[in-house]
Amino acid sequence: TADRPVFAQVFPGGRPDYRAFFITLRRIIAHKTMKTDFLVIGSGAAGLSFALKAAAHGHVTIVTKGEMNECNTNYAQGGICSVTYAPDTFEKHIRDTLVCGAGKCDEAAVELVVKRAPELIRDLIAWGTKFDKTPDGRFELNREGGHTEHRILHHEDLTGAEIERALITSVRKHPNITVLEHHFAIDLLTQHHLGEFVTRHTRGLACFGAYVLNLESNEIETVLAKFTVVAAGGCGNVYSSTTNPSVATGDGIAMCHRAKAITENMEFIQFHPTSLYHPAEKPNFLITEAMRGYGAILRLQNGEEFMDKYHPMKSLAPRDVVARAIYREMTKRGSDFVYLDVTHKDPDAIRSHFPNIYEKCLSIGIDITRQYIPVVPCAHYLCGGIKVDLDACTSIRRLYAVGECSCTGLHGGNRLASNSLIEAVVYADAAARHSLAHVDEYDFNTAVPAWNDEGTLSNEEKVLIAQDAKEVGQIMSNYVGIVRSDLRLKRAWTRLDLLYEETEELFKRVKATRDICELRNMINVGYLITRQAIERKESRGLHYTIDYPKHAYNYK
């Protein structure tokens, strides 16, 4: 239990109330508190690579809400960027990232990631990741939209799954790492939980760990930590169609926002131009951009090419340009998809480069060596998130954010393809270095009380949660999607506000469960995206509004 004097916890007013005494005593006895040097929330590339580095110096506990490999990392297809061979150079990778970022990148962050990438790739290889090689033993490099060189290391079209496999194997073997699967982090612990009034500007605001819901016992446990690392991934499920698996509900961002950490660039949601059009399926299956890098061409339903009207790089233009072009052509024609055509390439080569996509399409009756692939844009990646500095420190002491939930400034207004896996491992490394240099300065804050859910009931209104989650997706997709306007954003804001009020009211009355916590988080994240979109009075990068149609930044 929390080590606060029991008397103070059961008689907070100082006067005996014996009914309250027994109820609270039972709660305290049943309550479980854990202590760990490093608490990591999330088991994707960011969380696992941090854990492997920190575990050399202290005990690491990873909590993850599903099985370990349920994460965006496991779905990554195209690959991971790193300057590997001439004629590529750091300068070219930096320039491509800055151009794609639409004038909003933090140049120091770009330089850090690009220059640290080769060393972090070596770490991934040392942990067991296998990247594809050509017959002469050199790494085979892909190219995707916005890249002027081939610089994407990959493992077939299953790069993320290979990285995740290697990291999980290393983590499982490490004696200093405890993994708690099916553990859902609900909220971060700060001075707020000690009864202090805190704001985003409170000096000395610090994180002491998290309240975590054990999804098997349904108990809420306290995990006290010297450092907490939020590596909880993206928020694709805030939209009704996404490439992200169902775990990507923006929990880390919402948790940090509630704890009063700063978030930024939330309006820059990246829509991937080419997910497979197969309406019955969730998440949307991705058709990697590497296929366009390999020569695949976008076509209208009548077979015509159209990207030459939009950008000199045609089908390989930056992602936001391609997604908007497809959206425009679909809206103009009232069609639900366009086609991606790779049929002019050698069938054996297609099968060997894209075995996963080939099999998937075949399973729904499309032989991509002979037939066009129907594709549609959908929500894919969050460029913004929890604001961090070059050491991955958030605005709250003892709290780091790494990976997709963080905003390092690398991506600016639009992410260059395949720059996110490398960002995750570079910043996990930075967080590990920074925390290891400070770990001896802190102790556990044992004054944190146990989670208090006295008086709450189990939720008999599941239908409300499912319906509200669907509504969040519809609001965000229709009003805060690829094309926005002041009116649409205002409408989203009003609708989300109502959902927020109703959900917070329900949350106070019912026992915390995964579904209500996720709903709260999605509403929170939807609100942040909408608010920051309203504040941006221009079209830039991924944020396009018809009220400011002239782009503040021109890629050409």
**237 part of the interface to ligand FAD, by CB under 6 A:** no
Closest separation between CB of residue 224 and ligand FAD, Å? 17
Q: Is 70 in the site for ligand FAD (CB under 6 A)?
A: yes
Residue 228 contacts ligand SIN per CB under 6 A: no
- Using the rule CB under 6 A, give the single segment among 65-73, 199-207, 312-320, 460-468 that binds ligand FAD: 65-73
CA distances from 315 to 59, 79, 344 (A): 48, 19, 15
Q: Any contact of residue 288 with ligand SIN (CB under 6 A)?
A: yes
Sort 514 into a burial class: Cβ within 10 Å, 0-12 / 13-18 / 19+: middle
In the structure encoding, which two tokens stand for residue 261, read together?
């950490």
Span near ligand FAD by CB under 6 A; candidates 116-124, 241-249, 358-366, 468-476: 241-249
CA distance 291 to 289: 5
C-beta atoms surrounding 508 within 10 Å: 10
Cβ neighbours of residue 331 under 8 Å, at least 6 residues apart?
Answer: none
Strand segments (E) across 174-314: 177-180, 183-189, 209-214, 220-230, 263-264, 269-276, 297-299
Phi, psi of 113 (to 5 degrees): -65, -50
19 phi, psi to nearest 5 deg: -65, -50
Binding flag, residue 316, ligand SIN (CB under 6 A): no
Which option in ligand FAD, ligand SIN, none does residue 376 bind, with CB closer than 5 to 8 A by kind? none
Site for ligand SIN (CB under 6 A): which residue of 117, 290, 392, 529? 290
Choose the one of ligand FAD, ligand SIN, none that binds residue 110, judging by a C-beta under 5 to 8 angstroms depending on kind.
none
How far is Cα 139 from Cα 144, in angstroms, rounded to an integer? 16
| The only residue of 64, 73, 77, 445 in contact with ligand SIN, by rule CB under 6 A | 77
Among ligand FAD, ligand SIN, none, what does residue 71 contact (CB within 5–8 Å per kind)?
ligand FAD
Name residues whose C-beta falls within 8 Å of residue 95's C-beta, 6 or more positions apart in sequence: 148
Which tokens belong to 191?
Answer: 């001075």
Quick check: 232 binds ligand FAD (CB under 6 A)? yes
The single residue among 39, 421, 426, 528 that binds ligand FAD, judged by CB under 6 A, is: 421
Extract the tokens encoding 491: 């409408």
190 phi/psi in degrees, rounded to 5: -140, -175
Q: Which of 207, 213, 201 is closest to 230 using CA atoms? A: 207
Interface residues for ligand FAD in 438-497 (CB under 6 A)? none
- Nearer to ligand FAD (CB atom), residue 79 or residue 526: 79
> Which of 24, 82, 129, 159 contacts ligand FAD by CB under 6 A?
159
Which of 227/381 has CB closer to ligand SIN? 381
Segment interacting with ligand FAD (CB under 6 A) among 51-59, 118-126, 327-335, 412-420: 412-420
Beta carbons within 10 angstroms of residue 161's beta carbon: 18
Identified binder of ligand SIN from the candidate list 42, 44, 47, 78, rule CB under 6 A: 78
Q: Residue 70 binds which entry of ligand FAD, ligand SIN, none, with Cβ cut-offs from 5 to 8 Å by kind?
A: ligand FAD
- Rounded to whole angstroms, the Cα distance separating 124 from 166 reads 8
Query: How many residues sit close enough to ligand SIN to count as binding (CB under 6 A)?
Result: 10
| Alpha carbon 438 to its chain's center | 27
Token code pair at residue 388: 């961090």
The residue behind tokens 């019955």 is 280
How many alpha carbons lie under 13 Å from residue 153 in its C-beta half-sphere? 26
Which of 51, 74, 46 lies closest to 62, judged by CA?
51
Asked if 228 and 39 touch (Cβ cutoff 8 Å), the reply is: yes
Please enumerate in sequence order all residues whose Cβ is within 8 A of that of 77, keeping only pairs 6 or more positions apart, or say none.
157, 158, 159, 160, 286, 288, 290, 356, 357
Residue 418 or 435 with smaller CB distance to ligand SIN: 418
Which one of the spans 27-35, 55-63, 67-75, 286-294 is the region binding ligand SIN (CB under 6 A)? 286-294
In whole angstroms, give the CA distance from residue 76 to residue 153. 12
Residue 251 Cβ, how far from ligand SIN at the closest point, in Å?
A: 21
Please identify, using beta-carbon distances, which residue of 26 and 433 lies nearer to ligand FAD. Answer: 433
167 binds, among ligand SIN, ligand FAD, none (CB under 5 to 8 A by kind): none
| Closest distance to ligand SIN from the beta carbon of 381 (Å) | 6
The entry of ligand SIN, ligand FAD, none near residue 378 (CB within 5 to 8 angstroms by kind) is none
Among 244, 435, 445, 524, binds ligand FAD (CB under 6 A): 244
Contact call for residue 49 and ligand SIN (CB under 6 A):
no
Q: What are the residues binding ligand FAD (CB under 6 A)?
A: 41-47, 63-66, 70-73, 75-80, 159-160, 184-185, 231-234, 243-244, 247-248, 251-252, 286, 381, 403-404, 418-421, 424
The residues of the shown chain that bind ligand SIN, judged by CB under 6 A, are: 77-78, 286, 288-290, 381, 417-418, 420
